[in-house]
């Protein structure tokens, strides 16, 4: 294993900011894995750190295929993580909305430029991503739909679901989309949670990435069997929003199978405890996403159903 500095920047008030990459094997630039790009992506950085540990042991045991290189970047925004902010602390900008970057631009543009200059050379790209909804997901792999179909290789992860998402305007400045424009086969892996560590979901996620590396011919090791993945598109989802604000008293969690008319959550008045609203399942479904905070605002996404 080689530890490299991908990007470095001096700070007037704190120690120098370094983005580190951990390189395994040597030869063709085959797979790059990127962890936390936002300061609240604790689960994503935890999974990445465990990948570094596992791949270090595998390299020591000769289980990495000859002639390939695997890169893991656990964190690209630990300045924000250190002070509990989601975005870059100086200007509140999002690194993952700055790709392919600009090396003479603002700080987050320069970070994105340095990252992308390194990452665009790899055949496969895996980003441990998070979503703007606050809550928990079924762990899954997500692909931005482009002219090239990479769904077949997404099945290497053995995750229960592959979400093939139609691109929206904001996707064009994200890492996944730009990777694919530069002919890297790019996958966003969602590890269930964001700001907290869910150990079972984290282990499931890093095992899925190890399974992908094995199926792609990069590792010589035994892996746990995975799921036969179901491919989902935008039309497969239904989002349920809260009609009232208040305490969110959830009855069902992500991954639950529910029946039509089943109670999913109650919304309680924060002053007198009365029931302000109830959310019922409109059909037989599986809960893909569930809001998991104790408070919810009106019109906020509470559940997403498959």
Q: Considering only the top CATH level, what class is 2-232?
A: alpha beta
Mean pLDDT of 62-78: 96
Residue 66 has pLDDT above 80, yes or no: yes
pLDDT digits (tens, 9 = 90+) for 254-295: 999 999 999 999 999 999 999 999 999 999 999 999 999 999
pLDDT of residue 68: 97
Domains 2-232 and 237-305 share a fold: no
Residue 131 has pLDDT above 90, yes or no: no
Q: Note the pTM of the prediction, 2 decimals.
A: 0.93
CATH of 237-305, one of 2.40.50.100, 3.40.47.10, 3.40.50.300, 3.30.10.20: 2.40.50.100
User: Does residue 290 contact residue 136 with C-beta atoms inside 8 Å?
Assistant: yes
pLDDT digits (tens, 9 = 90+) for 244-259: 999 999 999 999 999 9
How much is the mean pLDDT over the chain? 95
Domain ranges of the chain: 2-232, 237-305
Residue 224 has pLDDT above 90, yes or no: no
């Amino acid at each position: 294993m080689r530890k490299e500095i991908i990007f470095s920047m001096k700070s007037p008030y704190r120690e120098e900011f370094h983005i580190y990459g951990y390189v395994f094997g040597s030869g063709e630039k085959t797979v790059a894995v990127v962890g936390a790009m936002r300061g609240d992506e604790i689960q994503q950085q935890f999974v990445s750190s465990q990948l570094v540990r596992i791949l270090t042991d595998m390299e020591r045991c000769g289980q990495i295929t000859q002639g390939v290189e695997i890169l893991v970047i656990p964190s690209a925004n630990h300045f924000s993580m250190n002070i509990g902010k989601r975005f870059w602390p100086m200007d509140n900008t999002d690194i993952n909305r700055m790709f392919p970057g600009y090396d003479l631009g603002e700080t987050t543009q320069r970070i994105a430029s340095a990252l992308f200059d390194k990452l665009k050379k790899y055949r496969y790209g895996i980003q441990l991503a998070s979503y703007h909804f606050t809550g928990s997901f079924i762990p899954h792999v997500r692909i931005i739909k482009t002219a090239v179909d990479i769904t077949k290789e997404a099945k290497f992860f053995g995750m229960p679901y592959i979400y093939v998402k139609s691109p929206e305007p904001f996707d064009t400045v994200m890492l996944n989309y730009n990777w694919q424009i530069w002919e890297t086969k790019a996958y966003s892996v969602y590890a269930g949670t964001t700001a907290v560590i869910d150990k079972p979901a984290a282990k499931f996620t890093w095992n899925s990435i190890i399974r992908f590396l094995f199926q792609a011919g990069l590792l010589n090791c035994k892996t746990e069997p995975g799921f036969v993945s179901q491919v989902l598109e935008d039309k497969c989802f239904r989002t349920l929003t809260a009609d009232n604000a208040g305490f969110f008293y959830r009855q069902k969690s992500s991954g639950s199978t529910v029946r039509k008319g089943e109670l999913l959550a109650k919304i309680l008045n924060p002053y007198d405890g009365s029931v302000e609203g109830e959310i019922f399942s409109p059909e037989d479904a599986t809960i893909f996403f569930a809001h998991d905070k104790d408070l919810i605002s009106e019109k906020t996404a509470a559940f997403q159903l498959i």
